[in-house]
Each structure stands twice: as C-alpha cells, then as structure tokens.
Structure 1
Amino acid sequence: MTNTREPLLIFDCDGVLVDSEPLSIRVLLDTVAAHGGHLTETEAYQRFLGRSMATLVSVLDTDFDIRADAAFLERMRRDLYARFEKELQPIAGIAEVIAQLPWRKCVASSSQPERIRLSLDLTGLREHLEPYIFSATMVKNGKPAPDLFLHAAKEMGVDPLCCIVVEDSPAGIIAAQRAGMKVFAFTGGSHADREDYRTEISALKPTVIFDDMADLIHLVEKECEARA
C-alpha cells in the first residue's frame, strides 16, 4: 500500500459524475408497470438509489413480488440506454473539476461496467477516468457493504485511510464509512431536491455535504490540510 498523504478520490458515477438518477428511476417504474407490477417513485428512490442490479432484482422479488427476469432486465436496459443517448447530461462543472484535479482518481459504481462506460462516453468524461473504473460486479457484496471501495483502493494501491469517496446515495455513504474512508456527500444532482433524501443524507453524518462540484477541489485541499 502507498503511505503517501496524497488522497485517492473515488467517484461514484450515477448522480455524481452523470445526472442519471431521475432517468434511471423513471425507466425502472415504467418497466415495472409494463410487467404488471406497481412501485412508487418514493419507494424506488428509497430502496434502489445507489444499489447494484443484483440487489434490485432480489428486492423486487422478495419485497414487491415482482420478478425481474431476463425479459424484464433486457427491456429496462434497452429503454434506459435509449433514454441516456437522448437525455443524459454530466453533472454541472464535473468535466472542468476532473481535468483540474491534481490527485489520483477512479470510479467505483454499483452499475454494470457497460453502463458506466456508456454514461461516461455520452458525457465526454471517459477519457479522464479510464482505465480506473470499478463496478459492483467485481465484488461479492454491493453497497452498502464496503467491498467495492476496498477493492478500488486495493487495485489503486492506496490505503483506505487515504481515500476520499464522492457519493450521492445513502448506501454509498454507508459503504465508504464502513471502508474507513472519508466521504463527501454530493447533493447537487437533479434528484437531490427531495426533503426526505436530504434528511437521510444529513443523518448519516458524512465528512462533508456539498451541492456544487466547483467546490470539490477546495474541500479536498481543506481535508488534506487537516491531515497534515
């Protein structure tokens, strides 16, 4: 492991790099309805924000009696990618921030590798982050387990204590905390205006809560000064 005090920034993808959460939730709700099920928007955000596909399939089956079989998943994937190609946007200011970051960085997302790279391609961010892209499919347990963040740190050769995770979901914040990492909660995505969401994020007591990506470099610098 690297003993340097220089941080490794670990970015979640959906809701942190790309403003995808409302698109994803809408497609999920439409797919559930098309297969005869019912799920509210509030339930979808509370149960699935930041979670892996494996978790989604399991929870739909166990808690909502909705079977997300191969046909369900294929329809959702097809519709989601089509919507991404028409509507997906990067988080405001993220490209400029990533280009200016003086520290090492990587992506650790609950999404599948194909979806992560498509999202980054469509928003022009992939060139800044490739090849350091890690998916929940690479570990046994997805968020809120710490496995993915610990895997990313190990692959990057950095002590978890030197990592700063940038996350938007409660599951991701908990995962970073369980990994022993600092976590900066980003609440600037278009899904983050819900009062229940902001209350839950605040209750988790992340290291920092911020809603403007332009502030990230200053916040990391401040954290580095505190560690010195």
Structure 2
Amino acid sequence: MMVPDLVIFDCDGVLVDTEGPGNLRLSQWLTEAGYAISYEDCRKRFSGRSMTSVQAEVEAEGVPLGADFVERWNLALPDLFAAGVDTIPNVRGFIDEVQAASLPYCVATSARLSKMQITLGVTGLLPLFAGRMFSATMVARGKPFPDLFLHAASVMGFAPERCVVVEDSVAGTQAGIAAGMRVFSYCGDPLADREGLSSSGGILFDDMRALARLIPLR
C-alpha cells in the first residue's frame, strides 16, 4: 500500500468524541418536534451528516422543523459542549506520527467551522489544524456525496487517488469512496455501524494506534 500524499480526517467521532452528546440532543429535538426517533437510530441515520441534510430528510417525511432549525442548532452548541469534549483515544498520537513523517493533513467535516472552533478548541487540537479546516458549508453537497473531500484535496493540492480518509460514519465512508480515496473507518465506538461501514467500502479498525500500521507513513 502506497504512502499517501494527504491524510484527511473527519472531525466528530474521529478527532473529538462528540457523536454521543450531539446525537442525544438531536434525538430529543426531533422527538419534541414530532419526529420520534431514538438515540440509537439517530446515531445510525444521522452521524456524519450536516444539519441541513438532516432537516431536509426529516421534512421530506412531513415533519416541519422550522426555517431557523439549523441556526438554533448551531447557537446551542456552545452550551452542549460547555462541560468539555474528549479527544478520541490515541488520535493525538497518530497525528503526531503524521507530522513526524512530514505528511500533509487536514480535517473535512459536515459541521460548520464554528463548531470545529469549539470542539477542537476545548480539546487543544485546534492549533494543529489551523489553515487546514474544511466544512460541508463550502460545497454544494455534503456527505455522502464526494464534494467535500474532493474540495479539500483540490485546495491542499493533491489528486484524490493519492489521499486517504479517516472516517467513522457510513455517510463519510461513502463520500470518501465516491471521491476515489482509500477510507479507513473507525469503529471503536460500541454503537458504530460496522456492517454499514464495511459494506460502504471502508477498511475497518477499532483502535487509533493501529492506523500507523494500516496507513504507511514513510
């Protein structure tokens, strides 16, 4: 397996442990709006998705969320993560190894830049990604479409087939594969959709310490 030219990280669930509290809050909001959904189903269906796409899917099923749904969601994020956010276990060590190998890297996420500023900020990871953060708000279509990963690769100056993606969601894995990239799908979370990740074409792993063996860095 070749040494990649660029490593693209997803953010939520790969760098920072936010999928749990985020999807718990989302399941509560959707249920209160009349779209009953459990936390577990919310994790399975909406992890890795932008709130714009979540709203579109829910409203297509006949449940209006309001024109200000996405804005209300983003305004509530500082309070949601006020108690702190953990990094995904051992991911900082892998980032250190990527840096030591002088490999270019970036983050590409469905979330807004403002959310990354919060979550990467409280975990201390933000300085590591300064000037190399990409959001689905920058492209026409979010995950599972390939637009975001193709945009990140283009801006960073690398061909898609020379990039690898580190993901944790089915939508993100599908997006990376559609972009023509190799995708390594983290399934260390007990609620990870292992079957969905595998069938989407991801290379599954459950410990960030294994990545340096799966992805040749030199």
Q: Same-fold call, TM > 0.5? A: yes
Q: Which structure 2 residue ranges, 5 or more long, are not aligned? A: none
- Counting only pairs closer than 5 Å after superposition, residues 33-182 of structure 1 correspond to structure 2 as 33-63=31-61, 65-70=63-68, 72-101=69-98, 102=101, 103-182=103-182
Distance 1:29 1:49 in 2: 12
| AA in 2 matched with 1:143 | K
Contact 1:10 1:105 (8 Å CA) reproduced: yes
3-state SS in 2 of match to 1:86: coil
1:16 to 5, 14, 17: 14
3-state SS in 1 of match to 2:83: helix
2:214 to 212, 219, 226: 219
- What is the aligned-residue identity percentage? 36
Match in the other structure for 1:199:
195
Q: Which structure 1 residue ranges, 5 or more long, are not aligned? A: none
3-state SS in 2 of match to 1:44: helix
Task: Go from structure 1 to structure 2 and tell me whether the alpha carbon gap of 1:132 and 1:158 turns closer, same or farther (over 3 Å shift).
Answer: same
| AA in 1 matched with 2:43 | Y
Distance 1:159 1:48 in 2: 29
Contact 1:144 1:174 (8 Å CA) reproduced: yes
Contact 1:50 1:143 (8 Å CA) reproduced: yes
Distance 2:8 2:62 in 1: 33
| AA in 2 matched with 1:46 | K
Greater mean alpha carbon deviation, residues 150-159 or residues 37-46: 37-46
| Pairwise CA distance, 1:114 | 0.4
Q: Summarize deviations over 1:74-118 as a string: whole Å, max 9, x none.
A: 543344321212142110111222122121100000001100121
Distance 2:70 2:141 in 1: 20
Q: TM-score under structure 2 normalisation? A: 0.90
Q: Which has the higher helix share?
A: 1
Distance 1:202 1:5 in 2: 22
CA RMSD of aligned residues (A): 2.0
- Counting only pairs closer than 5 Å after superposition, residues 183-198 of structure 1 correspond to structure 2 as 183-188=183-188, 192-194=189-191, 197-198=193-194
Count of residue pairs brought into register by the alignment:
214
Q: Summarize deviations over 1:104-158 as a string: whole Å, max 9, x none.
A: 1000000011001211101111111111000000000111110000000000000
Contact 1:108 1:133 (8 Å CA) reproduced: yes
